[in-house]
Structure 1
Amino acid sequence: MLPEPFTAAGSSSFADFLAQQAPDLVPGARARAAGDLSDIAPHGTTIVAATFPGGVVMAGDRRATMGNVIAQRDIEKVFPADEYSCIGIAGSAGLAVEVVRLFQVELEHYEKLEGTVLSADGKANRLAALIRNNLGLAMQGLAVVPLFAGFDQATREGRIFSYDVTGGRYEEHAFHAVGSGSIFARGALKKLYRDDLNETETITATIQALYDAADDDSATGGPDLTRRIFPVVAVVTADGYRRASDAEVGAIADDVIGARLVRPDGPAAPLT
């Protein structure tokens, strides 16, 4: 028979249950004495997201860095959160993956207990609470800064949410980027984004943005044609979450880089 805490009625939040029964397993609960720990763990870098009519696209580069060293060339930073949402991670890679796994269980746990799924805003709020729990480690340089996106079944449109290290939640419109190369990726999307782009065009715009970020930020990796390592691209629509295949992303990346051989700075935006 299961112990009483596992059968008693309580909060529908798995994170709250974990904090009560095994607080040492909660991401961020193991903060130590003050000090900068940012160079001792791999860091993920740039994540971009953009909406299109009927859904949202999220893409993440594949490089992780540890100080000035490339720690990994094929890390994955974009994951499904549930059937209708996805999450991308920037910051301390190990902690960020822990937060993602806990968030996935949190959403599944809620659905099993309540018999329904959380709304898009409810999911975004739950993620904010998990990030807030990591504040102690964030103060030591091990921050987790995710980007959350999904298809809102109530409004029938894609939505994007960004966060700060304190758990502050902010809804973004049209597109957004987080991570060390985000300033360059957002600059690219400002010139490339249109609200009438279709799914394939939106994927192309996000890959262009990641290429521009990699061009100016050493911690961001662009498409690697020699190793055939391409950004992880997720698409969320009314049909649910879908990860674009390597063949699909590779074909778009080949076109993007082929065009850059002619125009290295990428496509030009009209002046008017």
Structure 2
Amino acid sequence: MITNTHYQGASFHELLKTDFPYLIPNTQHLSMDDETQASLPMGTTILAICYDDGVLIGGDRRAVEGHRISSRRIEKVYKTDQYSAMAVAGVAGLCIDMAKLFRTELEHYEKIEGELLMFEGKANKLAHMIRHNLQAALHGLVVVPIFVGYDHQQQRGRIFKYDVVGGMYEEDEHYATGSGGKDARNTIKKLYHRPLDEEGAVNIAIEALYDASEEDAATGGPDALRRIYPSLKTVTCDGVREITADRIEALFQSLLERIYKK
């Protein structure tokens, strides 16, 4: 337990900045050449889709170092609290650290205040953390997340996207970003409709990530041999739930059969 601190508020991030700044990575004086940046693992394509009961968030599993594959099983989608989740694209190490710190931020707030932060308050806290990473972003160490959650006040799933300086923008229906984001967005736009149930949203996400992997070398496609498939989570009024690998595998097989029968 952290004791004898000067900061008494509910923000864990501000607590670290005030009393334990050495625990936050110092990116103020970074100087990196292109070769060093290219050697850093990068997470790529992520997406989110609103549907009738909530919102789906997902991403592929590949990380790259320049033109090389550095990992086939990286996790880009994280549960941040009971009713929210985020996916991260950018420099893998910073992405994972930010996701973990943000989850701790929300847990700390809940323990101090005795209640969950409102959905837009969570989104604003994440924007503040991205703003804190601005110096690193200027040196090419970019973190670009998508944040989703179920808003109990509005009784619907919501999506927020961010730019590298912490700008926060809401998308009403769907969004995708990362190196394969444009290809994924094109597929989602073509297939998206309302009403849309969870099964429909999952199928759209799988096809969008497959299409992105066919066009973008940094996006990992389905790997039946190693049983590596995208990470997908749903957020509804009942909380965050992960779509199982078995279910994703079956839907991918159906997709491939449909494509190659054409």
CA distance in 2, matches of 1:208, 1:108: 34
Name the counterpart of 1:269. Answer: none
Question: Partner letter of residue 13 of structure 2?
Answer: A
Q: What is aligned with 1:79?
A: 78
- Taking the aligned partners of 2:217 and 2:227, their CA distance within structure 1 comes to 19
1:147 is matched by which residue type in structure 2? I
Supply the AA of the counterpart residue of 1:186: R
| Change in 2 beyond 3 A, CA 1:85/1:227 | same
* Pair 1:19 & 2:17 matched: yes
Name the count of aligned residue pairs. 261
Distance 1:238 1:171 in 2: 19
CA contact (8 A) 1:27 1:99 kept: no
Contact 1:50 1:58 (C-alpha < 8 Å) held by counterparts: yes
| Matched residue, 2:92 | 93
SS of alignment partner, residue 230 of structure 1:
coil
Percent of residue pairs bearing the same amino acid type? 44
**1:261 aligns to what?**
260
Gaps of 5+ in 1: 264-272
Cα separation, 1, equivalents of 2:23 and 2:29: 12
Which residue is 1:270 aligned to? none
CA shift for structure 1 position 27: 4.3
What is the SS of the residue equivalent to 1:121?
A: helix
Q: Give the secondary-structure state (helix, strand or coil) at the position aligned to 1:251.
A: helix
Contact 1:28 1:133 in 2 (8 A): no
Alpha carbons 2:7, 2:18 under 8 Å: kept: no
Preserved CA contact (<8 Å) 1:27 1:134: no
CA distance in 2 between partners of 1:76 and 1:33 (Å): 28
- Residue 140 of structure 1 corresponds to 139
Question: CA RMSD for the aligned pairs?
Answer: 1.5
**TM-score of the aligned structures, taking structure 2 as reference length:** 0.95
Q: Deviations over 1:78-127 (max 9, x none)?
A: 01010001100100011000000100000000011111111110000000
Is 1:59 the counterpart of 2:58? The answer is yes
In 2: Cα distance, 1:40 partner to 1:75 partner: 16
Question: Does 1:68 find its partner at 2:74?
Answer: no
What amino acid is aligned across from residue 31 of structure 2 in structure 1? A
